[in-house]
């Protein structure tokens, strides 16, 4: 069935046949642009929210994440009906829309950044795009390549951004990132071909969408029809909430508590990103072929648990470097989960199910930073004033009794619970999701008639 679909695909626009290459370039350019802004982001946060920096960052991320949670299932379902290319264009545009505003107006930047969550769900559309053009046996590797590309985009971009910022100022970095974003949009518009067959898409964009398809809570309720997918969604929530929390504050934590400079942060990101690429291309494929998706997820969660525990107890730079290496190898978890979710969904529901995964990740992008920010506040960890390296380390040592890394230890507990749930997963799949009702595309085609 899958091969027949691929053989009969009517390509619309773009250059060549749809491929994983197209998906990886889209992801690389989008996150390369944001990686350039690692340093300027820290500066803007500190200047705009001089007090309660992490708490305010958590609130901004929270609004964006909650909006993503609400919109991702709908956008995924729409892409199942109307095609992937238009929604790739839409999601990349809104994801990158805040970038030029960073130097124009901090207030507008944070406002647009928060509201961009309504459409900033590129990963769900990209993973659905990949599912359209790959067989199930290839999907884990393909998802690993996409996730590795995400990591690769951060190998050089923060260091390049730090260099340009030091030499020319943050304004040049923001302009460069804006140009990369425009390049990404042009690549989608001109080069990326449609992956969804023309014959199964309605002729008009006016085709109706039911409230049942648009309601994210209804989509999540449908997950319960397949307990394996329900467990996978719980694992996504428990593992990604601490990941979202730590990455929302890690760079500020490294600079203001551990004593890293901008160059140190850029080097940290580059090394972790490079190791993540290795993990998601070499280690992921080897593990899935030898032990299967479920055990691969357990291995990734084990790395993440140890890494978060190390972050929670680290008081010296070398400890953070060691834990960062472990974080890189925990990157195999998400592509392994996504591949297993995809294998449990029907071919014409890939956008919807990936939208649900992205929606849960979006919710974690909001709850994670808020939870970490709250825990930093409860344990009186002061991240509002800049410190040089020696002063920051002295502050950290004097704050050990207040557990500055309590947020990371909380994250380690959640990951441990995710590992427990993983023990009840099955590698086999039943593709039951949505079996109680017609799929979004079939429902629309029935309404449209022959």
Q: Are 98 and 112 in contact, with CB atoms under 8 Å apart?
A: yes
**Spatial CA neighbour of 424 closest among 239, 231, 238:** 231
Count the alpha carbons within 13 Å of 23 in the hemisphere toward its beta carbon: 26
> Quick one: pLDDT at residue 362?
77
CB atoms within 10 A of CB 172: 14
Domain boundaries along the sequence of the chain:
15-192+214-439
pTM for this entry: 0.70
**DSSP annotation string for 224-276:** TTSHHHHHHHHHHHHHHHHHHHHHHHHHHHIIIII---HHHHHHHHHHHHHHH
Q: Are 76 and 354 in contact, with CB atoms under 8 Å apart?
A: yes
pLDDT tens per residue across all 450 residues of the chain: 344 344 344 445 667 788 889 999 999 999 899 888 877 887 787 777 766 666 677 677 778 878 887 787 778 778 877 888 889 999 999 999 999 998 888 888 888 888 888 888 888 888 888 888 888 777 778 888 887 887 778 777 887 888 888 888 888 999 999 999 999 999 999 999 988 766 555 544 445 555 555 555 665 666 556 677 788 888 989 988 888 888 777 777 777 677 777 677 778 877 887 888 888 777 777 887 787 778 888 988 999 999 888 888 877 777 778 888 888 888 888 888 887 877 776 665 666 677 777 778 877 877 887 787 777 767 666 555 444 444 444 444 444 345 667 788 888 999 999 999 998 877 655 444 444 344 444 443 343 343
* Region 15-192+214-439: CATH code: 1.20.1250.20
> Quick one: pLDDT at residue 370?
75
> Quick one: pLDDT at residue 276?
82
> Quick one: pLDDT at residue 404?
67
CA dihedral sign of residues 363, 58, 38, 113 = positive
> Quick one: pLDDT at residue 448?
36
């Amino acid at each position: 069935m899958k091969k027949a679909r691929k053989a009969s695909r009517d390509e619309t626009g773009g250059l060549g046949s749809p491929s994983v290459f197209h998906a990886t370039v889209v992801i690389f350019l989008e996150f390369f642009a944001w990686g350039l802004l690692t340093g300027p982001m820290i500066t803007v946060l500190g200047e705009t929210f001089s007090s309660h920096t992490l708490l305010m960052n958590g609130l901004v991320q929270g609004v964006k994440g909650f909006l993503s949670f609400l919109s991702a299932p709908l956008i995924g379902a729409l892409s199942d009906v109307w095609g992937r290319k238009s929604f790739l264009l839409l999601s990349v545009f809104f994801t990158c829309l805040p970038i030029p505003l960073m130097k124009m107006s901090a207030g507008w930047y944070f406002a647009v950044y928060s509201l961009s969550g309504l459409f900033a769900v590129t990963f769900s559309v990209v993973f659905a795009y990949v599912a359209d053009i790959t067989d199930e046996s290839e999907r884990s590797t393909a998802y690993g390549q996409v996730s590795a590309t995400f990591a690769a985009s951060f190998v050089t971009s923060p260091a390049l951004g730090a260099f340009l910022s030091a030499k020319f100022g943050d304004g040049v970095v923001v302009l460069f990132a804006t140009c990369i974003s425009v390049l990404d949009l042009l690549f989608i518009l001109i080069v990326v071909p449609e992956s969804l067959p023309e014959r199964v898409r309605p002729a008009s964009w006016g085709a109706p969408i039911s409230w049942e398809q648009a309601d994210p809570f209804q989509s999540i309720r449908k997950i319960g029809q397949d307990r394996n997918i329900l467990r996978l969604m719980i694992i996504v929530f428990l593992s990604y909430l601490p990941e979202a929390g730590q990455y929302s504050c890690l760079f500020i934590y490294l600079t203001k508590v551990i004593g890293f400079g901008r160059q140190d942060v850029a080097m940290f990101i580059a090394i972790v990103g490079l190791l993540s690429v290795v993990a998601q291309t070499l280690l992921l494929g080897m593990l899935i072929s030898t032990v299967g998706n479920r055990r691969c997820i357990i291995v990734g969660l084990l790395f993440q648990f140890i890494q978060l525990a190390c972050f929670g107890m680290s008081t010296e730079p070398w400890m953070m470097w060691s834990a960062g290496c472990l974080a890189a190898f925990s990157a195999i978890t998400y592509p392994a989960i996504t591949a297993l979710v995809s294998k449990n969904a029907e071919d014409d529901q890939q956008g919807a199910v990936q939208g649900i995964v992205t929606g849960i990740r979006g919710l974690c992008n909001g709850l994670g930073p808020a939870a970490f920010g709250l825990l930093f506040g409860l344990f009186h960890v002061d991240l509002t004033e800049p410190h040089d390296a020696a002063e920051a380390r002295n502050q950290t040592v004097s704050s050990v009794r207040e557990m500055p890394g309590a947020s990371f230890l909380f994250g380690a507990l959640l990951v441990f619970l995710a590992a427990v749930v993983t023990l009840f997963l099955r590698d086999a799949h039943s593709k039951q999701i949505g079996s109680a009702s017609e799929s979004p595309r079939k429902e629309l085609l029935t309404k449209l008639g022959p």
